[in-house]
Structure 1
Amino acid sequence: MNQLNFNILLADDDVDDCDFFKEALEETSVKANLFMVHDGVQLMDYLEKKTQDNLPDVLFLDLNMPRKNGLECISEIKQNKKLAELPIIIFSTSLDSEIVETLFKKGASYYIRKPGDFSKLKKVIENALTTAAAENFKQPARASFVLQP
Protein backbone atom coordinates (compact mmCIF):
# COMPACT_ATOMS: atom_id res chain seq x y z
CA MET A 1 0.00 0.00 0.00
CA ASN A 2 2.77 2.45 0.85
CA GLN A 3 4.02 2.51 -2.73
CA LEU A 4 0.71 3.96 -3.95
CA ASN A 5 0.24 7.70 -3.97
CA PHE A 6 -3.32 8.95 -4.39
CA ASN A 7 -4.50 12.29 -5.67
CA ILE A 8 -7.61 12.86 -3.58
CA LEU A 9 -10.22 15.55 -4.09
CA LEU A 10 -12.41 16.38 -1.09
CA ALA A 11 -15.61 18.33 -1.76
CA ASP A 12 -17.01 19.56 1.57
CA ASP A 13 -18.31 22.97 2.63
CA ASP A 14 -17.48 22.48 6.33
CA VAL A 15 -13.97 23.84 6.93
CA ASP A 16 -13.65 21.98 10.24
CA ASP A 17 -14.57 18.69 8.53
CA CYS A 18 -11.98 19.42 5.83
CA ASP A 19 -9.28 20.06 8.43
CA PHE A 20 -10.33 16.93 10.35
CA PHE A 21 -10.14 14.87 7.12
CA LYS A 22 -6.71 16.32 6.20
CA GLU A 23 -5.25 15.60 9.65
CA ALA A 24 -6.69 12.08 9.68
CA LEU A 25 -5.37 11.34 6.20
CA GLU A 26 -1.90 12.53 7.21
CA GLU A 27 -1.90 10.03 10.09
CA THR A 28 -2.73 7.01 7.93
CA SER A 29 -0.20 4.87 6.08
CA VAL A 30 -1.67 6.12 2.79
CA LYS A 31 0.45 8.49 0.73
CA ALA A 32 -1.76 11.13 -0.82
CA ASN A 33 -2.02 14.61 -2.21
CA LEU A 34 -5.20 16.25 -0.99
CA PHE A 35 -7.06 18.94 -2.90
CA MET A 36 -10.22 20.60 -1.56
CA VAL A 37 -13.22 22.45 -2.92
CA HIS A 38 -16.00 23.83 -0.76
CA ASP A 39 -19.21 23.61 -2.76
CA GLY A 40 -20.68 21.78 -5.73
CA VAL A 41 -20.13 24.62 -8.21
CA GLN A 42 -16.42 24.78 -7.28
CA LEU A 43 -16.26 21.00 -7.62
CA MET A 44 -17.69 20.92 -11.11
CA ASP A 45 -15.51 23.88 -12.21
CA TYR A 46 -12.42 22.12 -10.82
CA LEU A 47 -13.24 18.85 -12.61
CA GLU A 48 -14.13 20.54 -15.91
CA LYS A 49 -10.69 22.22 -16.01
CA LYS A 50 -8.92 18.87 -15.66
CA THR A 51 -7.94 16.67 -18.58
CA GLN A 52 -8.65 12.96 -18.60
CA ASP A 53 -5.02 12.36 -17.61
CA ASN A 54 -4.96 14.59 -14.54
CA LEU A 55 -8.28 13.88 -12.87
CA PRO A 56 -8.08 12.95 -9.19
CA ASP A 57 -7.80 9.24 -8.37
CA VAL A 58 -10.83 9.50 -6.11
CA LEU A 59 -13.39 12.07 -5.00
CA PHE A 60 -14.68 12.18 -1.42
CA LEU A 61 -18.03 13.92 -1.83
CA ASP A 62 -20.16 15.50 0.89
CA LEU A 63 -23.88 15.54 0.12
CA ASN A 64 -24.97 18.71 1.90
CA MET A 65 -23.18 21.57 0.19
CA PRO A 66 -24.35 25.02 -0.90
CA ARG A 67 -24.96 26.12 -4.50
CA LYS A 68 -25.00 22.52 -5.77
CA ASN A 69 -25.40 19.50 -3.53
CA GLY A 70 -23.66 16.15 -3.75
CA LEU A 71 -26.60 14.41 -5.44
CA GLU A 72 -26.61 17.00 -8.21
CA CYS A 73 -22.84 16.68 -8.57
CA ILE A 74 -22.78 12.89 -8.82
CA SER A 75 -25.52 13.03 -11.46
CA GLU A 76 -23.52 15.53 -13.53
CA ILE A 77 -20.27 13.61 -13.08
CA LYS A 78 -21.74 10.28 -14.15
CA GLN A 79 -23.38 11.86 -17.23
CA ASN A 80 -20.12 13.50 -18.34
CA LYS A 81 -18.11 11.20 -20.62
CA LYS A 82 -14.77 12.56 -19.36
CA LEU A 83 -15.74 12.23 -15.68
CA ALA A 84 -18.00 9.17 -15.66
CA GLU A 85 -15.30 6.76 -14.46
CA LEU A 86 -14.15 9.00 -11.58
CA PRO A 87 -14.44 6.95 -8.37
CA ILE A 88 -16.70 8.73 -5.87
CA ILE A 89 -16.78 7.95 -2.17
CA ILE A 90 -19.74 9.65 -0.52
CA PHE A 91 -18.69 11.21 2.76
CA SER A 92 -21.73 12.45 4.66
CA THR A 93 -23.15 12.94 8.15
CA SER A 94 -26.46 11.28 7.25
CA LEU A 95 -27.11 7.61 6.67
CA ASP A 96 -30.61 7.75 5.21
CA SER A 97 -31.29 4.38 3.59
CA GLU A 98 -33.18 5.88 0.63
CA ILE A 99 -30.34 8.29 -0.12
CA VAL A 100 -27.78 5.50 0.23
CA GLU A 101 -29.79 3.38 -2.23
CA THR A 102 -30.06 6.29 -4.69
CA LEU A 103 -26.31 6.92 -4.54
CA PHE A 104 -25.56 3.25 -5.10
CA LYS A 105 -27.80 3.30 -8.19
CA LYS A 106 -26.14 6.52 -9.42
CA GLY A 107 -22.77 4.75 -9.37
CA ALA A 108 -20.97 5.96 -6.24
CA SER A 109 -18.09 3.64 -5.31
CA TYR A 110 -18.65 3.62 -1.54
CA TYR A 111 -20.59 5.43 1.16
CA ILE A 112 -19.07 6.54 4.46
CA ARG A 113 -20.94 8.13 7.32
CA LYS A 114 -18.63 10.76 8.80
CA PRO A 115 -17.48 9.55 12.21
CA GLY A 116 -17.10 12.16 14.93
CA ASP A 117 -14.16 10.32 16.47
CA PHE A 118 -10.70 11.07 15.06
CA SER A 119 -9.36 7.51 15.36
CA LYS A 120 -12.45 6.16 13.58
CA LEU A 121 -12.04 8.76 10.84
CA LYS A 122 -8.42 7.68 10.26
CA LYS A 123 -9.50 4.06 10.15
CA VAL A 124 -12.38 4.59 7.73
CA ILE A 125 -10.33 6.78 5.34
CA GLU A 126 -7.52 4.23 5.23
CA ASN A 127 -10.01 1.37 4.86
CA ALA A 128 -11.85 3.17 2.07
CA LEU A 129 -8.70 3.86 0.08
CA THR A 130 -7.12 0.44 0.53
CA THR A 131 -10.39 -1.42 -0.16
CA ALA A 132 -11.27 0.73 -3.16
CA ALA A 133 -7.75 0.50 -4.63
CA ALA A 134 -7.73 -3.29 -4.20
CA GLU A 135 -10.96 -3.41 -6.21
CA ASN A 136 -9.67 -0.91 -8.80
CA PHE A 137 -12.23 1.57 -7.47
CA LYS A 138 -15.10 -0.45 -8.92
CA GLN A 139 -18.42 -0.35 -7.13
CA PRO A 140 -18.81 -3.35 -4.79
CA ALA A 141 -21.93 -5.43 -4.24
CA ARG A 142 -24.67 -3.46 -2.45
CA ALA A 143 -23.96 -5.27 0.87
CA SER A 144 -20.38 -3.87 0.88
CA PHE A 145 -21.28 -0.34 -0.28
CA VAL A 146 -21.43 1.32 3.15
CA LEU A 147 -18.02 1.31 4.85
CA GLN A 148 -17.83 1.28 8.62
CA PRO A 149 -14.90 2.53 10.73
Structure 2
Amino acid sequence: MNDKLTIFYADDDPDDQDFFKIIIDRMSEKYEVMQHMDGIQLLEALENPPPSPHVIFLDINMPRMNGIEVLKRVRQSEKFGKLPIVIFSTSKEGSVIQETLELGANYYVPKSAGFKELKKSIEHSLQINWETFVPDSNTFLYKDN
Protein backbone atom coordinates (compact mmCIF):
# COMPACT_ATOMS: atom_id res chain seq x y z
CA MET A 1 0.00 0.00 0.00
CA ASN A 2 1.29 3.42 -0.95
CA ASP A 3 1.06 5.75 2.03
CA LYS A 4 2.68 8.69 0.28
CA LEU A 5 0.79 11.96 0.00
CA THR A 6 0.21 12.72 -3.66
CA ILE A 7 0.60 16.25 -4.99
CA PHE A 8 -0.79 17.15 -8.41
CA TYR A 9 1.19 20.02 -9.94
CA ALA A 10 0.12 21.69 -13.19
CA ASP A 11 2.62 23.99 -14.88
CA ASP A 12 3.69 24.28 -18.51
CA ASP A 13 7.23 25.45 -17.65
CA PRO A 14 9.63 22.47 -17.50
CA ASP A 15 12.12 24.41 -15.35
CA ASP A 16 9.43 25.24 -12.78
CA GLN A 17 8.36 21.59 -12.79
CA ASP A 18 11.96 20.47 -12.20
CA PHE A 19 12.48 22.92 -9.33
CA PHE A 20 9.19 21.88 -7.72
CA LYS A 21 10.07 18.17 -7.95
CA ILE A 22 13.59 18.72 -6.58
CA ILE A 23 12.20 20.69 -3.63
CA ILE A 24 9.59 18.04 -2.81
CA ASP A 25 12.16 15.24 -3.12
CA ARG A 26 14.51 17.06 -0.74
CA MET A 27 11.75 17.80 1.75
CA SER A 28 10.49 14.33 2.46
CA GLU A 29 9.98 10.87 1.03
CA LYS A 30 6.34 11.03 2.15
CA TYR A 31 5.34 13.07 -0.91
CA GLU A 32 4.84 11.96 -4.48
CA VAL A 33 4.48 14.56 -7.25
CA MET A 34 2.38 13.97 -10.33
CA GLN A 35 3.19 16.67 -12.87
CA HIS A 36 0.90 17.91 -15.62
CA MET A 37 1.74 20.29 -18.47
CA ASP A 38 -1.65 22.01 -18.45
CA GLY A 39 -5.07 22.04 -16.87
CA ILE A 40 -6.57 19.50 -19.24
CA GLN A 41 -3.93 16.91 -18.30
CA LEU A 42 -4.55 17.58 -14.62
CA LEU A 43 -8.33 17.22 -14.94
CA GLU A 44 -7.92 13.98 -16.92
CA ALA A 45 -5.64 12.58 -14.20
CA LEU A 46 -8.07 13.70 -11.51
CA GLU A 47 -10.92 11.84 -13.21
CA ASN A 48 -8.82 8.70 -13.79
CA PRO A 49 -7.18 7.61 -10.52
CA PRO A 50 -5.03 6.21 -9.12
CA PRO A 51 -3.48 8.18 -7.75
CA SER A 52 -5.76 10.78 -6.24
CA PRO A 53 -4.18 13.98 -4.96
CA HIS A 54 -4.13 15.22 -1.41
CA VAL A 55 -3.44 18.75 -2.68
CA ILE A 56 -3.22 20.49 -6.06
CA PHE A 57 -0.67 23.16 -6.96
CA LEU A 58 -1.84 25.18 -9.98
CA ASP A 59 -0.02 27.64 -12.17
CA ILE A 60 -2.31 30.25 -13.70
CA ASN A 61 -0.75 30.88 -17.10
CA MET A 62 -0.89 27.62 -19.06
CA PRO A 63 -1.93 26.75 -22.61
CA ARG A 64 -5.18 24.94 -23.52
CA MET A 65 -6.73 25.48 -20.06
CA ASN A 66 -5.35 27.93 -17.53
CA GLY A 67 -5.33 27.60 -13.76
CA ILE A 68 -8.36 29.84 -13.26
CA GLU A 69 -10.45 27.59 -15.49
CA VAL A 70 -9.16 24.45 -13.73
CA LEU A 71 -9.99 26.01 -10.36
CA LYS A 72 -13.56 26.70 -11.53
CA ARG A 73 -13.99 23.15 -12.84
CA VAL A 74 -12.63 21.48 -9.71
CA ARG A 75 -14.79 23.64 -7.44
CA GLN A 76 -17.89 22.73 -9.48
CA SER A 77 -17.15 19.03 -9.04
CA GLU A 78 -19.11 17.19 -6.39
CA LYS A 79 -16.30 14.64 -6.07
CA PHE A 80 -13.35 17.06 -5.84
CA GLY A 81 -14.95 20.29 -4.69
CA LYS A 82 -13.26 20.25 -1.26
CA LEU A 83 -9.77 19.32 -2.49
CA PRO A 84 -7.13 21.82 -1.29
CA ILE A 85 -5.89 23.97 -4.18
CA VAL A 86 -2.80 26.15 -3.94
CA ILE A 87 -2.37 28.71 -6.70
CA PHE A 88 1.35 28.80 -7.47
CA SER A 89 1.97 31.60 -9.95
CA THR A 90 4.33 34.39 -10.95
CA SER A 91 1.37 36.78 -10.98
CA LYS A 92 1.31 39.14 -8.03
CA GLU A 93 -1.62 41.22 -9.29
CA GLY A 94 -4.10 41.95 -6.54
CA SER A 95 -7.08 41.41 -8.84
CA VAL A 96 -5.85 37.95 -9.84
CA ILE A 97 -5.18 36.98 -6.23
CA GLN A 98 -8.64 38.21 -5.20
CA GLU A 99 -10.31 36.36 -8.08
CA THR A 100 -8.70 33.04 -7.11
CA LEU A 101 -9.79 33.54 -3.48
CA GLU A 102 -13.36 34.25 -4.61
CA LEU A 103 -13.34 31.20 -6.89
CA GLY A 104 -12.44 28.93 -3.99
CA ALA A 105 -8.68 28.44 -4.00
CA ASN A 106 -7.32 27.62 -0.56
CA TYR A 107 -4.01 29.46 -0.76
CA TYR A 108 -1.95 31.66 -3.08
CA VAL A 109 1.83 31.41 -3.35
CA PRO A 110 3.69 33.84 -5.60
CA LYS A 111 6.58 32.00 -7.24
CA SER A 112 9.92 33.23 -6.02
CA ALA A 113 12.93 33.62 -8.29
CA GLY A 114 15.28 32.21 -5.66
CA PHE A 115 15.48 28.48 -4.95
CA LYS A 116 15.72 28.93 -1.17
CA GLU A 117 12.63 31.18 -1.07
CA LEU A 118 10.75 28.85 -3.41
CA LYS A 119 11.53 25.89 -1.14
CA LYS A 120 10.40 27.81 1.94
CA SER A 121 7.06 28.76 0.33
CA ILE A 122 6.33 25.19 -0.80
CA GLU A 123 7.26 23.76 2.60
CA HIS A 124 4.99 26.29 4.29
CA SER A 125 2.10 25.40 1.98
CA LEU A 126 2.43 21.69 2.71
CA GLN A 127 2.43 22.25 6.47
CA ILE A 128 -1.01 23.87 6.43
CA ASN A 129 -3.75 21.83 8.06
CA TRP A 130 -6.36 21.99 5.30
CA GLU A 131 -9.03 20.55 7.58
CA THR A 132 -9.00 23.66 9.77
CA PHE A 133 -7.50 26.39 7.56
CA VAL A 134 -9.97 29.06 6.47
CA PRO A 135 -8.71 31.33 3.69
CA ASP A 136 -9.59 35.00 3.97
CA SER A 137 -8.03 38.29 2.89
CA ASN A 138 -5.49 38.03 5.75
CA THR A 139 -4.47 34.37 5.45
CA PHE A 140 -4.85 33.57 1.73
CA LEU A 141 -1.60 35.03 0.39
CA TYR A 142 1.78 33.55 1.32
CA LYS A 143 4.09 36.24 2.61
CA ASP A 144 7.79 35.58 3.06
CA ASN A 145 8.68 37.01 6.48
TM-score (normalised: structure 1): 0.88
Write out the 4+ residue segments of structure 1 that deviate beyond 6 Å after TM superposition: none
Q: Which of 79, 86, 90 lines up with 1:89 in the alignment?
A: 86
Unaligned runs of 5+ in 1: none
Identity percentage over the alignment?
39
Structure 2 CA distance for partners of 1:129 and 1:39, relative to 1, 3 Å:
same
TM-score (normalised: structure 2): 0.90
Shift of 1:135: 4.1
Counterpart for residue 36 of structure 2: 37
Q: Give me the whole-angstrom Cα distance separating, in 1, the residues matched to 2:4 and 2:37.
A: 23
Q: Give me the whole-angstrom Cα distance separating, in 2, the residues matched to 1:15 and 1:137.
A: 33
SS at 2:12's partner residue? Answer: coil
Counterpart for residue 120 of structure 2: 123
Counterpart for residue 8 of structure 2: 9
Counterpart for residue 148 of structure 1: 143
Q: Give me the whole-angstrom Cα distance separating, in 2, the residues matched to 1:137 and 1:70.
A: 24
Q: Give me the whole-angstrom Cα distance separating, in 2, the residues matched to 1:41 and 1:112.
A: 22
Contact 2:89 2:110 in 1 (8 A): yes
For the pair 1:75 / 2:100, whether they are aligned, the reply is no
- Note the alpha carbon deviations across 1:84-140, whole angstroms, 9 max, x for none: 01110000001110111111011111000001111111111111110x2x2426442
Q: Which of 55, 58, 69 lines up with 1:58 in the alignment?
A: 55
Give the paired residue count. Answer: 142
Unaligned runs of 5+ in 2: none
Q: Give me the whole-angstrom Cα distance separating, in 1, the residues matched to 2:130 and 2:58.
A: 19
SS at 1:35's partner residue? Answer: strand
For the pair 1:49 / 2:44, whether they are aligned, the reply is no
